[in-house]
Amino acid sequence: MRDPLTILTDAFTSFLFGKVETTRLPVRTSTGQAQAVYLPTAAPGLGDSGVIIGREVYSGKGYIYDPFQLYGQQLPAPHWLVLGESGNGKSALEKTYVLRQLRFKDRQVVVLDAQGEDGVGEWNLIAEELGITPIRLDPTAALDMGIRLNPLDPAITTTGQLALLRTIIEVAMGHGLDERSGFALKVAHAYVNETIVERQPVLTDIVEQLRHPEPESAEAMNVAIDDVRAWGLDVALVLDRLVDGDLRGMFDGPTTVGIDLDSPLIVFDLSHIDRNSIAMPILMAIVGVWLEHTWIRPDRKKRIFLVEEAWHIINSPFVAQLFQRLLKFGRRLGLSFVAVVHHLSDVVDGAAAKEAAAILKMASTRTIYAQKADEARATGRVLGLPRWAVEIIPTLTPGIAVWDVNGNVQVVKHLITETERPLVFTDRAMTESSADQLLGDDALRAAELEAEERAAYMEQQMNDPSSSSSSSSSSSRSGVA
């Protein structure tokens, strides 16, 4: 209780100077009602320099992303992982992202296109629009003077050639080479490179040397010639598959003349290869090493290497190790690796779990489209996503995804221009979705309207005092902001 002197002093002060302090009575309320006073805020954007992706759902702000602009400031590495079930817009995002990146003169993109219809890959229309001929690797066409890539191309260093040969063999065999087989391969490779100088050495030369090793090879190790031949027999049988088996024609001759490695977009069309066969990871390995030694150069260009069906890489220990080395070029030579995977469980539970974890760790950007609830929870655990993001992943509509850019987590709606739509929403260019989902302007506008209605509904839920569940969701998002 205040004493009379204090009351008299306050009254005299108020009379002379007016009342200087307002006493506000406390208000008791619930968090459901108080949330309307403290509105949720969206996380800050990634800046205004780079490629526009679309808009952030909760704030409506434009969402701009470019790994080359963000590297060193907000990103420790420029690599990107895209996840999500079929039909939700992964392919549309990849295509528009590449088209928008190519508007910068210092950008160059390589795409490994593993999907397709009507005899061509799904990137065929974009390549045609840009006046580019895809490098179509087809065993049938290769026999009729089609595209060839030579693992022994002189443009690849001898060390790179031997590493590539080992990787091909280990992928096909499903295990590493033992010391004796590795020695036989090394000796055969060295002999071929030393003796064949008038033309490009080819795989047939290696197979022939493994079957008929030179006596000098045995004498160097003080072993019998029959032992060296036996050590190299399994290696010869594996390489023979590339020469006279189901992959014949693509790698058993000199590299095709005229492949333009200076083109802004290079598309390797792998759509004629069975995606579930051992041929696919072998192809990935050969193309990866060939690009490492012939495409990536210290010329200050920013390069993007986009791989469809990337689980063929990450799920093979030997190919994954090869691509780990390739990813390290990101810091030194400006390479951004983009891996597109349907389910994270395809790789983290596979034979190359250790290698997969290393590659995932290098991907500082993760984009997750709609997944089933159990898959979303597993993805959230592996990638360390906040709980609110995991909860909304199963509810995402086509074209909307959760973006995690080195801890900056936002929900983004991908926007497509009128010019890009014919190249993105077609039977051949969008094989991962059904025709009634994403084809045509009417279907696209319907999807956009549904996404806008969902965003409006979520905003209403956040501001509705009677909704207790929205209070929890709102506070979670505010915590991320």
Q: Is 18 exposed, middle or buried (0-12, 13-18, 19+ CB in 10 A)?
A: exposed
What sign has the CA pseudo-torsion 404, 413, 339, 293?
Answer: negative
Name the token pair of 322: 């090869």
* 14 vs 18: CA distance, rounded Å: 4
Return the pLDDT at 72: 78
Report the b/e string of 207-245 with b at 16+ CB within 10 A.
bebbeebeeebbeeeeeeeeebbebbebbbbbbbbbbee
* 244 vs 312: CA distance, rounded Å: 23
Return the pLDDT at 441: 45
Return the pLDDT at 432: 46
Return the pLDDT at 354: 75
Would you say 316 and 121 are in contact if contact means Cβ atoms under 8 Å apart? Answer: no
* 207 vs 240: CA distance, rounded Å: 7
Would you say 31 and 471 are in contact if contact means Cβ atoms under 8 Å apart? Answer: yes
Residue from 287, 321, 293, 319 nearest 306 by CA: 287
* 243 vs 152: CA distance, rounded Å: 13
CA angle, 185 as apex, 293 and 168 as ends, to 5°?
50
Q: Phi and psi (nearest 5°) for 17? A: -115, -5
Residue 344: C-alpha distances to residues 83, 349, 413 (Å): 7, 8, 22
Residue 149: C-alpha distances to residues 179, 285, 473 (Å): 28, 12, 53
Query: pLDDT tens digits for 384-412?
Result: 999 999 999 999 999 999 999 999 999 99
Residue from 264, 257, 256 nearest 110 by CA: 264
| pLDDT tens digit at each of 481 positions of the chain | 567 777 777 776 676 666 555 566 677 777 777 666 655 556 667 877 889 999 999 888 899 999 998 887 788 889 999 998 888 899 999 999 999 999 998 899 999 888 776 678 889 899 999 998 888 887 776 556 678 888 898 888 888 889 889 888 888 887 888 999 998 999 899 999 999 988 999 999 999 999 988 888 777 778 888 888 899 998 998 888 777 766 677 788 888 887 787 889 999 888 887 777 777 777 877 788 778 777 887 788 899 999 887 776 667 777 777 778 777 776 777 889 998 888 887 666 666 677 777 777 888 999 999 999 999 998 998 889 999 999 999 999 999 999 999 999 999 999 999 999 988 875 444 444 433 344 344 444 544 555 555 555 455 544 554 443 333 333 333 333 2
Residues 6 or more apart whose CB falls under 8 angstroms from that of 50 comprise 64, 65, 66, 68, 69, 70
* 92 vs 399: CA distance, rounded Å: 8
Return the pLDDT at 82: 93
Strand partners, 83: 341, 368
R_g of the chain computed on alpha carbons: 29
* 400 vs 103: CA distance, rounded Å: 24
* 415 vs 445: CA distance, rounded Å: 11
Return the pLDDT at 250: 78
Span between the terminal Cα atoms of the chain, in Å: 44
pTM above threshold 0.85: no
